[in-house]
Amino acid sequence: MPWYKVLTAIILVLLISYTAMTYAANKRVERQPYKVIKSANGFEIRYYPKAIMATITTKGDSYMGGSSSNFRTLAGYIFGGNRSSEKIAMTAPVHIEKSNSESKMSFVMPSDYTLDKLPAPNDSKVDLHYSKEGYFAVLKFGGYANEQKIQRKIGQLKDMLIAGGYKVKGAYSYLGYNAPWDVVGRENEVIVEIEYAEH
């Protein structure tokens, strides 16, 4: 067999093995719980109970602009940068929201913690708090996310909500589920709180 065919076969096996390991690792990561209330016209309506979040707020007017430094700060907290030097498990998704002047990134804390049992962050910029419970409209998409793609998906979700007669209650957020080095099976969502009453 020619050497290039052998090399191609080896690369293919490695890629398949890497994909399988990445998929298995992602499935082991705890995810923020929610209940799907309704699936309609390409998006979901979910009910999210409150969860404990670790959040950092920085100046900026984009979803992805300060994401690297914000991620490092939050990762520092869960990897031992706290008063107890305690390691806290990574969860999914990572939340990013923005306003005209601020950008916020949040990690969801594992469900076996209560707010009073989490170690205090060494970095005072990390804020521990409960998220808001409520009903949220969610649009899923794949691949790598960038500012333009996020804005385009937000525009699509806005159009869907207008067509469905839903009233938005807050700002749109981006949710990312994968590590930067995950190549396949990437999961992303844009999400916004809406007025909704279960019947």
**In this prediction, what percent of the chain has a pLDDT beyond 90?**
70
- Tell me what pLDDT residue 198 has: 76
pTM to 2 decimal places:
0.84
Segment 8-61, tens digit of pLDDT: 544 443 443 333 344 434 457 999 999 999 998 889 999 999 999 999 999 887
Please, are residues 136 and 46 in contact by the beta-carbon 8 Å criterion? yes
Segment 83-138, tens digit of pLDDT: 999 999 999 999 999 888 889 999 999 999 999 999 999 999 999 999 999 999 99
φ/ψ (deg, to 5) at 44: -115, 150
Give the span between the Cα atoms of 113 and 119, in whole angstroms: 10
Segment 145-167, tens digit of pLDDT: 999 999 999 999 999 999 999 99
Give the span between the Cα atoms of 72 and 75, in whole angstroms: 5
Tokens read off for 196: 């909704």
Please, are residues 192 and 156 in contact by the beta-carbon 8 Å criterion? no
Please report which helix (H) or strand (E) contains residue 26, including its range.
helix 3-28
Domain 51-130: assigned CATH number: 3.20.80.10
Residue 63's alpha-carbon distances to 31, 58, 154, in angstroms, are: 21, 11, 12
